Structure 1
Amino acid sequence: ATMVNNVNKFMDSRCITFGCSSSAMMTAGMTVANQSGFTGLAVYGAPVIYRPPQHIYGQMPDYGDDFVVFAQYYKDNLWDGRGKPTVVMHLLNNSTGYGAYDGAKAKAAELRFELLEPVFEHTASTTSETTSLNSIRALDPDILYIASTPKPSSVIIKNAYELGMTGGNMIIACGHAGMTKALVDLAGTNVCEGVYGLFPTVNWDDGASGMAKVKEYCQKYHPADFGNMDYIASWCQSLIMAKAAELAVESVGYETLSKGDSNAWKAYEDYGIKALNNYDVEGLQGPVSYTPGDNRMSKSLRVFQVQGGSINPVTDWIEAPVIEYEKYDWFGKK
């Protein structure tokens, strides 16, 4: 209800668009936005947010893309080639978790992965996952895939470490909602060593053209957030929204947009968002382009690994294919 009220307030205040970091919050607010033709941009996206495509866009690849890209990376670089790799999924009980599971269900057979049952779920407030991990240990998977945010992810990884499940044959991988500095801080550098993850922006040590400004601004105004990859993602969102507004103004003029009515919303979407074409976002994430039928504005991810306490890239940008989830009869159903 809070998110719906917020979206209504944005529209009543004559805003031309809105942004949201959380996939769960965007899931809550997307219906009223779509019904009104009010464009929104989500930093963290689940497939349900923009499949089928309407008026909500994903700044970056979604949680389903995370799984697909990591699965392919695992097959190409870590798997010994015998049989099918087995995966157990541990999901946050909202769109963050379910979005990753959507990707796994859609592509596991094609990628020749076996999804083991049951699928495990946890809450954002979980303090122990020892029971679920004991069950997972009995399943002996090749991959434990955690689709969650940093705090619960850290609990799962710490518990796995305490149970002696890390450092052996089982690989732990995290989706991009959890693969941030906060995860390493909460779990501990030794505990997180070797954990893989996905993220759709550069890291803080990258030499991207826009990184110097991010560091300068963050150190001056938000020093506690320095090193947090969420900060880069949110910075990119602002750049993309501003670039779309600039393009729309160039095409239809300031007066059209300044009215903040339904015509302004449509103009921002048609001449701003949909006009984005290979915008480089100052090198901070994959290039942004609108592609008809695909509301992901960037399609590129990198695989990262915790090495010596730092989250370091182990691949270049990998493009995630579009998945038309709405063609699956299970999509959108819990």
Structure 2
Amino acid sequence: MTTGWAGDPHLVHAVGRGLRSTPAAVAVVTPEGGMTAAAESDHRSTFEIGSISKALTGMLYRDAVERGLVAPTTVLRDLLTLEEHAGIGSVSLESLATHRSGLPGLPPGMHPLRRTLGLWVSGENPYGDSLAELLDQARDVRVGAPRPRYSNLGFQLLGHAVAAAAGSSYAQLLRDVLGPGFSTPASRQDLGPADLTGSDRLGRPMHAWVGEAVAPAGGVRATIGTMRGFLQALLDGTPPGMSALDPVVDFAPRVGIGAGWITLEHHGRTITWHNGSTGGFSSWIGLDRAAGTGVVVLAAVHRSVDRQGFRLLEEFVASGVAQSPPVDDRPGG
């Protein structure tokens, strides 16, 4: 076994061949069952899942559409206080969900360069705004051409708009629809002893990415147990908003996007996935839906775990590939 890791022996052995980030935790679900392994963390430890939050928000949006609370053509000014701002107020929810809204990654009004400098120099949280502050920053945003462009701002607005349509806060809607295991701390005072402190590549502790505004795009926390249960539900097809995983447009050549979720071909298999990165955490979730297999990787360090996630998924799929032959359902294929 690999020093520092504990859990299912098969998974500990697989993880040890490539994942050195700690504290960390991994979950795998296959048709035969699920398994977890962790290092310097346990079942109570919560990790920032970063932009995997967008995948959750996409599901909340699709669930709201299916319940008739919103339509894909619903625009932001119908749900948020952006009535006097024709540009951003006229952006549709569907365009936000597929990163085709024409919005920038962040609003200029939040001074992203200054905040990024504070992040890398002092480990500060660049996303501590309230919803009211976010809306104030968003009002003067110029909307560009509706082309694929990854936007944190877009998913922040999408999540809060869907919550407004449901008569709820984003934090409450997330718990109500996808389960109580997901948390969205609005301030550092909301953190407890189980909330891990992340670090940068040099091992320096980083401030937690907390804030009401950022929650739908990158402010969700979860334990590996919550993520394993979520992964199992996704493979079973049982959570609300499952259509978010189905690609509807191209995001890049041979890469499709549903509502937040990305789909691509990896070594001949169709993979549905998302990753996440904050100042002190990295995360990855991926599913081979045809094989009924999925992987989650969470790490309390700012170092990409994408390669490890894809590798683990490929290895566990390969062990049962005879039962689940690959299918060619790539977007545009």
What's the TM-score bracket when you normalise by the shorter of the two chains?
under 0.3
Q: Return the TM-score normalized by structure 1.
A: 0.23
Question: Counting helix residues as a fraction of each chain, which structure ranks higher?
Answer: 1
TM-score (norm 2): 0.23
